[in-house]
Structure formats: C-alpha cells, structure tokens
Amino acid sequence: MKILITGFEPFNKSNINPSGEIIKKLPEELEGITLIREILPVEFKRASITIKELMKLHQPDVVLSIGQAGNRPEICIERVAINLDCVRSSDGSRELPDNGGDMPVDVKIKEDGENAYFTNLPVWDLIKKVKEKDIAVAVSYSAGSFVCNHVMYTALYEVDKYYPNISAGFVHVPFLPIQKEDNKKGYFMELKDMVTAIQEMIAAIAKIKS
C-alpha cells in the first residue's frame, strides 16, 4: 500500500509551516505502508499541477494532504472541498496573495468540475483513532477557499474523473507553539502530537483499505 502525503511550505510572512514539519518527521515506511512525502508550494497553480503529477507518477492508494489553519484550536479533518478560489477574508477587508503573488477572487477551480466534492476517507474512523490518543480533533465542513481547499479539490476532481480507487482527503493543523508572532488567537499544538495524529490516521486508513 502506498500513501501520498503532502504538506506545505511557509506562507503569509511566517517562516515555518507545521504541515511541512510533519512531513519531515514521517518515516519512508510505516507498518509496511510506503509513504511518499512531499512539500507543496503555497501557490494555486503550481500546487495543483504538482499534486496531479504526483498522483499520476506514483498511482498511490491514498492521498492525504495537510495544511495549516492557525485560527483553529484542534486538528481538523476536512469533509468537503469547494470549486472556488477566493483570497478575500470573510469580512471582505483583506486579500492574501499566494506565495507567487496570485490573488484570485471568486474564480472557479474547474469549469467542468462539481460545485463541491466530499472526501472519500472514513472521517469518523480517523476521528476515533486520534481521540484515543487524547489529541484535539474534529470534523470540519469548510477547508476555506485558499490553496488548501484548491489542493483538496484538485485531488478529489482527479479521483472523480480518473482514479475511482484512490481515497483522498485533507487535514488542517493548528499553529506550533513557536509561531508566537502569527498566533493571535493563542491556539497551538506540539509537533509531536500532530505527528502522532497523522500516524494514527495513516494506520486507520491502511486497516480499512487493506
């Protein structure tokens, strides 16, 4: 069994991204599962091209992408990706460019895609496994409209069109304690807990898929 697991480079003036740090901590193999570990650019176009190419190249059984959502207190397993890129904050006051300077507002990701795709990962099994380790985790019904949602949508579009046997999904993680500058709300989580949570999810997925 092969799992493509991705994190992101830093963005929004930060010099670290917990999702990329998790990727660096994961082994090449875990309980007989090959982990293809990759770090994606925080750029709409390049990130979707990369995830598509990685899926084609490796033909994984599972695609599990990880990103940072620093305004959330717990690890979030995303249920749905929407067909929309929009860098505007929800109160309309700010627009955050991606790392390449791209700033789409209200742009469809795929003209021929569904309005939204649900993850085909077993979300409740993942929640249960992570909870057993006493790590804060929840299901989320919005992955936002920035690069994380874009990557999740792209992977699920590929699954829908070309790879019905691949399971794909997305997990958002909070800030690390060292991200004090970025951390306005005061939520954070230790890297080791994030790594444990992801390893538990991998084990749960592997059990179900095998």
Catalytic positions, written as ranges: 78, 148, 172
Residue 100: CB minimum distance to ligand PCA, A = 13
Residue 23: CB minimum distance to ligand PCA, A = 11
Q: Is 83 in the site for ligand PCA (CB under 6 A)?
A: no
Q: In whole angstroms, what is the distance from residue 107 CA to residue 115 CA?
A: 12
- Give the pair of three-digit tokens for residue 11: 């963005």
First and final CA of the chain: distance in angstroms? 8
Interface mask toward ligand PCA for 27-66; x: CB under 6 A:
---------------x------------------------
The answer to whether 177 and 134 are in contact (CB under 8 A) is no
Which letter does DSSP use for residue 121 in this model? S
Nearer to ligand PCA, 144 or 169 (CB): 144
How many Cβ atoms are within 10 Å of 5's Cβ, its own excluded? 24
Residue 134: CB minimum distance to ligand PCA, A = 24
Q: In whole angstroms, what is the distance from residue 60 CA to residue 33 CA?
A: 11
Q: Is 17 in the site for ligand PCA (CB under 6 A)?
A: yes
Residue 9: CB minimum distance to ligand PCA, A = 8
Give the angle subtended at the CA of 78 by the CAs of 88 and 46, to the nearest 5°. 55
Q: Which of 8, 117, 170, 175 binds ligand PCA (CB under 6 A)?
A: 8
Q: Which of 6, 19, 140, 199 binds ligand PCA (CB under 6 A)?
A: 19
Q: In whole angstroms, what is the distance from residue 187 CA to residue 180 CA?
A: 10
Interface mask toward ligand PCA for 139-178; x: CB under 6 A:
-----x-xxx------------------------------
Q: How many CA atoms lie within 13 A of 6 on its CB side?
A: 27
- Is residue 134 packed enough to be buried (19+ CB in 10 Å), middle (13-18) or exposed (0-12)? exposed
Stretch that binds ligand PCA, among 11-19, 54-62, 185-193, 197-205 (CB under 6 A): 11-19
Q: Is 67 in the site for ligand PCA (CB under 6 A)?
A: yes
The answer to whether 151 and 40 are in contact (CB under 8 A) is yes
Query: Residues in the site for ligand PCA, rule: CB under 6 A?
Result: 8, 11, 17, 19, 42, 67-69, 144, 146-148
